Amino acid sequence: MDGGPSMNGGEPSAGDDQRYLPSSSGAEAQALTLHWTLGINKDVVGGVHNLSDAESSDMFYAAAHTGVIFDYNSGVQRLLQGHVNPITATAVSKDKKWIVTADTGPDSMMVVWERESGTPVKTFFNPHPYGVHALDIAPKLQYLVTLSAPPPAGEPAQQGQAGGDQGGKADQTRGATGHAEQDCQSISVWDWPADKETPICTAAVGTQDVQTCVLFNAWDTHEIGTNGKRRVFFWTWDVDQPFQFYSPALAPRDFKQRIGDYTQTIFLPDSTQAATGTVDGDVVIWDLSLIVDGLSRPDERRAVKIIKLCPEVSLNVLQVHEKARVVIGASDGSVRFYDYQFRVQAWFEDLSAGSVKSISFDRSTEGDEEYDPPGASSGLGVEDEFRCPNFLVSTGSALVVLVESRLFYELSPDDRRGRLVLQGLDSPVHGLCCHPQLPLVAVCGYSGFLHMWNYNTRSLHLVKIFDKLMPHILQFSPDGKLLAVGFINGHCKLLKSNDLSEVVSFRESRDCVIHAAFSHNSSYLALAHADRCVCLYRYAHRHQDENYPKEWSLCAKTKSHWRPIVGLCFSGPGAEKLRLFSVGEDRRLVEYNVKSSEFGGLQVVSPDTVVEQEARPTGCIWYPFGGKGDNQKVLTMNDEYKFKIWNTVNRSCRKTALAPTYGDPITKMTPVYKDADGEDQFMLYATHEKVLGLVQLPLDGNPNKCMGLIAHPGQIAAISVDYQGQYAFTCGGGDLTVNQWLIDPQPVANASILGGAGIEPFVKLLDGGEEGEFFSDMKDYFYYSQIRSQDEDTTKARMLDGMIPVTEIPHLMCALGYFPTQLEIKNMTAEVKYSKFGETGEYVDRIGFDDLVRLYVNHRPVFAVGPAQIKQAFEAMNRHEPGPLARDGENGLIGLLTNHGEKMTMEEMERCFEALVGDPSVHRTLDEEVDALSFAHNVLGLADADESQQEEGSLAIAGSIEAGTKSEWGGTTLALSAGPGGPAAEGRPPPRPAQRRAESEPRRQAV
C-alpha cells in the first residue's frame, strides 16, 4: 500500500474530494482472494461505525487485520486489506466519507481510506513504536490525533519527562521526544492531507496510567481530551507550537466517595464542561471554577460534581449526538439518552445483546430538524415524542443491533430488542472443517458454540451449544454423515451432520484433542491428545457378532511418542491396506496396524521411521500423488523448511524438497482438488502464524510454483478446502475471525511457466546465479567427479557421458559446503535410486548435472550452521549443565562422538582434525575442557553470522506474493510483491548457503 499522492494542507470540502484519491491501477489476478470474513473485533470500543443514510445501509467494522464495509441489507462486504496486525483503533469522519484504521504490533500502520471506493489514500508506516492504541478524526477532517500503544508485556514503560501530574509543556518535535516515546505513551496530531509522513505535533504522556481514550473537542479542534483508568488529560496544541496540557487531580476525599476507573471522556457543547464516565456508573463533570483551591488555575477544568447515573453499571460508551443529547451505552446492555444536564430522555434497556461497546448513528441530512429533541433548551419536554436517527449498537458478545427510535414506545420487551444485523464470533475459534459433499462449513469456539454455515447463502444453517465444554477441533467423516468434535478436556463427541444430534461420546484422556482423522471408508476414527495418546475408534458390530447393531467403540489406545504429536493421518483409498500414521516432535514417524488393533491394543509396526535428526517435524499428511503405482507415501514437513516424502512400504525417503519460506515453517497442508494429480493438483498450506498459500505439485523445490499471503495477524488455527476446490477457509484462534478465500491457482501455474524451465529456477537460488562463481565451481566439481569416477591414475582416453555415480554425491556436496550426515546421504541416495521407479520400474544409479543442482538446492540447509548452533549442540551433549564439555570420558566429547549417534572411529576423527587444523592429534588440539564457541571458531573455522542475515525478509500483505520473486541464496532479503492496498512487510529470512570448506568428509550425527 503506497501513501497517496502529494497532498497539500487546508480543510477539504465537498468540491475537492478528488484530491484525496489515489491514482487508479489495474488489479492483477490473485491465487487466493479474500472473499468473505466472519467475525468482528468485538472488544474495540467505538469500533463499529454507522455509514448509513437515506440511500445506503452500510456499516464499518474491523475483523482481525481487515476493515469491512458491510451493507447489512444486501449482505455485501467490501474488504479493506493492508494491515498485518489486528486493527485496534478506527474512526470515521463526520461526513462518513473517510475511514481511518490503525493497528498495534510490529510494522504497524495507520491508513486513511476513501469510503466510496474502499481505496487507501494515505498510509503512515510505524506511526508509533508499538502501534496506535486509540485515535480520533477532527470534525473538519484535516487532522488526526493518535495515542500510542504501550510497550508489550515484558517491556515495561518508563515514566517520561514531558508529562506531569498537573501541567506543563511538551516539545512538539519528533527528535526531542523520540527516546521518551520508546519508553512511555505519546500523543500525536497528524495533518493527513499534507505531503508529510510525520506528525505536526507530538508529546510524551507523562503518567503510568495508560491513556485509552482520545478525542478532539468538536467545538475547538485545538483542544484534545484523553483519559486512562485514573487520570484525565486536557491538551491544547497548534501548528509550530508545543503541546500544552494539564491533568486535574481528583481524590475520593474531594467528594467523599469512591471514584471508579474512568472509561471515556466527552466535551459538552456550548459550555466549558467535559464529562468522564466510570465503571461504577458515575459521571465526573469537569468545568472551570473561580474558587481558588491552590491546585489548579482559573483557566483549567477541575472536577465540580459527580453524578450517579447507573449504580454498579460500567458506562462503556459516552458520546454527544449532534441533536443536543448525550448518549451512554452501559455494561448492562442498555443505551440511554440524556440532555446536557444528564436528565434522562429515553432508554433502550431490552436489547439483550450484551455489554455495549459502541453506538453509531445514521447520517442525518444537514439542516434536518426532524430529530431535534423537544425541550432541548427548556428542559424535559416530556409531553413531546422522542425521535432520533436509527443507530447501531455493538456489544461484547460480538453482536451488532440496529435500533430505531420508535422502539422506545413499543410495549412488549420482545418488540424493543432491535434488529440483529451482524453476528460475529464471541470466543477463540480453533475448530473449522468443510462438509465433503455440501456447501457447509462448521466452526466451533471456546464459549461452547458449534455453528454450521452455508457459505453460498452466508446464512447460519445449524447451531449447537455445548454446556461447560470448550470445543477445540472439528472433522467431518468422508461420507459426510458424521462430525467429530474434540474438546480441550479430552472429550470427543460424534454428531450427525444433518441435525447435530449426538451419536456417541468418548473420553479416553483428560488432555485436549489436538488431531482427529477419519479413515477413507468412515469406519475408523483416530484421535491424538495433548498427552501424546493416540486413540482408535471403530464402527462395527459389537463382539464381531452381526446379531448386534453397529456402534462406535474404543478399539485401542497407545502412547508411542515421547514428545507432542504434530500430525495424524490414515492411508487413502488407493493403499494396499488401511494404515494409520502419526509423527511427533520426537522426530519419529510411527505406523499402526489398524486391523490387528481390533483384537487388543493399538499395534505399532516396528521399527519406527526416523524422519529427522536435527529439525523438528511440524505435520504430516497422506500423499497419494505421483501415480503409476508409487502412491503409498506420507508427506512430512519440518521447521527447517523442507518437505519429505516417505514410502511406507520400505520406509525410504523418496523426495526432499525445499518448502515455501514465507513466514514460519509450514504446519498444515491439504489438497485443493479431490482427484487431480501432477501439475493439475495444488496444495493449500498454512504456517503456524500469519501465512496461507498454494503450492503446485509435484513438490520439487521450484520457488516459482508457490505463493503465500498474510491471512491472519496471528495464529492460523485450522484450514479447510470446500468439496469443489473453489474456496479455502481459515480460522485465526484468538482473533475471532473465519476467512473465506476464493481459490484461483492459475496465477501460480503461470508463474511456474514464466519462471523458466529445467534448472533455471534452481540456479537462481544459488549464490550469484548462473553467472556467479559458485555455479561455475559446481560445474568444475561435477566434471572432476566424472574423471574421478573413471580412475584418476590412467592415461587412457575417457568417455564422459555427463553422468556421475550416486556414490560421488556425498563428496560433491561436501565440496559445495553442505556436509550431510549418514542418514542424509542415505536419503539422497534413495531419492536418486527411486526417482524413475514409478515410471519405469527400474532403479537409477547415475545422476546428471541438472539433477545434481536440484538435489543440492533441495537438501542443503536453509540456514547456515554457525557458532550458535554449535553451542546448542554442546549444551545438549552436556545435558544443559553450565560450563564447558569434558574432552575425555564416556560423557566427554570424544566418548559421545565415538559411541553415540552416527559413530565415528578415532581414525576418522584424526583425519578430520588433520584436515581442519593440520594436526591429527585430538588431545593436542583440544584442552581437557572444550568450550563450544572456541571449538566453533578455532577448530571448525565458523564465523559469526552476519547480523544482517538474521533480518526478516518480506511477505505480501493482503494479496498474492508472486511466486517467482524469491531471492537468491545470497543473504539478501526475500523481496515479495505487495497485493492491492498493501505494502511489503517483514517475514522470515530467506535461505542462504552454508559456509563452503575444503573437507570432503560427511559429517556425523552425534547425539
pLDDT value of position 869: 86
Which residue type occupies 754?
L
pLDDT value of position 629: 60
Q: What is the mean pLDDT of residues 743-766?
A: 92
The secondary element (H helix, E strand) that includes residue 895 is helix 893-899
Contact 671, 691 (CB under 8 A): no
The C-alpha cell 505487495 sits at 978
Angle between helices 849-859 and 822-833 (to 10 degrees): 140
pLDDT interval class at 945 (50, 70, 90): low
CA angle 716, 720, 721 (to 5 degrees): 140
For the chain, the C-alpha Rg in angstroms (whole number) is 33
> 984 or 180: whose pLDDT is higher?
180
> 95 is written with which cell numbers?
461526513
Spatial CB neighbours of 884, under 8 Å, sequence gap ≥ 6: 874, 878, 929, 930, 931, 932
Q: Is the pLDDT of residue 22 over 90?
A: no
Q: How far apart are CA 423 and CA 436, in angstroms?
A: 25
684-709 tens-digit pLDDT = 999 999 999 999 999 999 999 999 99
Q: Is the pLDDT of residue 991 over 80?
A: no
Q: What is the mean pLDDT of residues 842-858?
A: 92
Q: How far apart are CA 515 and CA 512, in angstroms?
A: 9
Q: Is the pLDDT of residue 662 over 80?
A: yes
Q: How far apart are CA 462 and CA 439, in angstroms?
A: 13
Q: How far apart are CA 478 and CA 475, in angstroms?
A: 9
Q: How far apart are CA 972 and CA 953, in angstroms?
A: 8
> 170 is written with which cell numbers?
511538551
Spatial CB neighbours of 490, under 8 Å, sequence gap ≥ 6: 507, 508, 509, 510, 511, 512, 513, 529
Strand partners, 454: 440, 459
> 326 or 972: whose pLDDT is higher?
326
Contact 181, 232 (CB under 8 A): no
Which conformational region is residue 251 in: left (phi greater than 0), alpha (psi within -120 to 50 degrees), or beta? Answer: beta
% of residues, the chain, pLDDT over 90: 57
Strand partners, 275: 266, 285
What distances in angstroms separate CA 486 from CA 361, 515, 529, 558, one per listed residue? 42, 8, 9, 18
Q: Is the pLDDT of residue 574 over 50?
A: yes
DSSP 498: T
DSSP output for 509-547: -SSPEEEEEE-TTSSEEEEEETTS-EEEEEEEEGGG-TT
The C-alpha cell 592415461 sits at 795
> 466 is written with which cell numbers?
455445548
Q: Is the pLDDT of residue 2 over 90?
A: no
809-844 tens-digit pLDDT = 999 998 998 889 999 999 999 999 988 887 777 889
Q: How far apart are CA 418 and CA 407, in angstroms?
A: 7
> 825 or 11: whose pLDDT is higher?
825
Q: What is the mean pLDDT of residues 714-730?
A: 96
> 192 or 841: whose pLDDT is higher?
192
Cα atoms in the Cβ-side hemisphere of radius 13 Å centred on 832: 28
Instruction: Give the strand order in the sheet containing 666-671.
Output: 666-671, 682-687, 689-696, 706-715
pLDDT interval class at 793 (50, 70, 90): low
pLDDT interval class at 291 (50, 70, 90): low
User: Which is nearest to 447 in space by CA: 136, 42, 841, 754?
Assistant: 42
pLDDT value of position 983: 32
Contact 59, 50 (CB under 8 A): yes
Q: What is the mean pLDDT of residues 598-607?
A: 76
Q: What is the mean pLDDT of residues 731-756?
A: 94
397-424 tens-digit pLDDT = 999 999 998 888 888 888 888 999 999 9
Q: How far apart are CA 799 and CA 821, in angstroms?
A: 32
Query: Quick check: helix, strand or coil at residue 36?
Result: strand
Q: How far apart are CA 34 and CA 25, in angstroms?
A: 19
455-497 tens-digit pLDDT = 999 999 999 999 999 999 999 999 999 999 999 999 999 999 9
Q: Is the pLDDT of residue 799 over 80?
A: no
Contact 296, 303 (CB under 8 A): no
What distances in angstroms separate CA 479 from CA 166, 187, 312, 522, 723, one per listed residue? 70, 58, 53, 6, 12
Q: What is the mean pLDDT of residues 136-162?
A: 75
Give the number of other Cβ atoms within 10 Å of residue 880's Cβ: 8
Written in H, E and C, the secondary structure of 704-759 is: HHEEEEEEEEEECCEEEECCCCCEEEEECECCCEEEEEEECCHHHHHHHHHCCCCC
What's the burial of 655, exposed, middle or buried (CB within 10 Å: 0-12/13-18/19+)? buried
Q: What is the mean pLDDT of residues 600-614?
A: 84
Strand partners, 567: 583
pLDDT value of position 634: 94
DSSP 461: E
Contact 630, 836 (CB under 8 A): no
Q: Is the pLDDT of residue 507 over 60?
A: yes
Contact 336, 317 (CB under 8 A): no
Is the bond leading into 150 cis (omega within 30 degrees of zero)?
no
Q: How far apart are CA 685 and CA 411, in angstroms?
A: 54
The C-alpha cell 520426537 sits at 586
Contact 515, 500 (CB under 8 A): no
Give the number of other Cβ atoms within 10 Å of residue 93's Cβ: 18
Angle between helices 849-859 and 773-789 (to 10 degrees): 120
Q: What is the mean pLDDT of residues 777-786?
A: 91
pTM: 0.86
What distances in angstroms separate CA 174 from CA 155, 182, 212, 622, one per listed residue? 22, 11, 22, 56
User: Which is nearest to 450 in space by CA: 511, 510, 495, 395?
Assistant: 495
pLDDT value of position 902: 86
User: Which is nearest to 672 in space by CA: 623, 741, 722?
Assistant: 722
pLDDT value of position 995: 37
pLDDT value of position 501: 96
DSSP output for 938-971: IIS-PPPPPGGGGS--EE-SSSPPPTT-PPPSSS
> 433 is written with which cell numbers?
472443517
pLDDT interval class at 437 (50, 70, 90): very high
pLDDT value of position 433: 97
Contact 333, 351 (CB under 8 A): yes
Give the torsion sign (CA, 338, 343, 346, 351): positive
Which residue type occupies 704?
N
Q: End-to-end CA distance of the chain, in Å? A: 48
pLDDT value of position 969: 30
Q: Is the pLDDT of residue 454 over 80?
A: yes
Q: How far apart are CA 380 and CA 383, in angstroms?
A: 9
> 665 is written with which cell numbers?
515453517
889-936 tens-digit pLDDT = 888 898 999 988 888 899 989 988 898 889 888 888 888 899 989 898
Q: How far apart are CA 438 and CA 420, in angstroms?
A: 27
> 183 is written with which cell numbers?
519508553
The secondary element (H helix, E strand) that includes residue 932 is helix 932-934
What's the burial of 901, exposed, middle or buried (CB within 10 Å: 0-12/13-18/19+)? middle
Give the number of other Cβ atoms within 10 Å of residue 17's Cβ: 14
Q: How far apart are CA 795 and CA 762, in angstroms?
A: 36
% of residues, the chain, pLDDT over 70: 83
Q: How far apart are CA 372 and CA 386, in angstroms?
A: 9
Strand partners, 748: none
What distances in angstroms separate CA 302 from CA 140, 238, 291, 599, one per listed residue? 28, 23, 10, 80
pLDDT interval class at 976 (50, 70, 90): very low
pLDDT value of position 792: 65
Q: How far apart are CA 806 and CA 810, in angstroms?
A: 8
Alpha carbon 458 to chain centroid distance?
24
pLDDT value of position 600: 62
How high is the mean pLDDT of the chain? Answer: 84
pLDDT value of position 602: 77
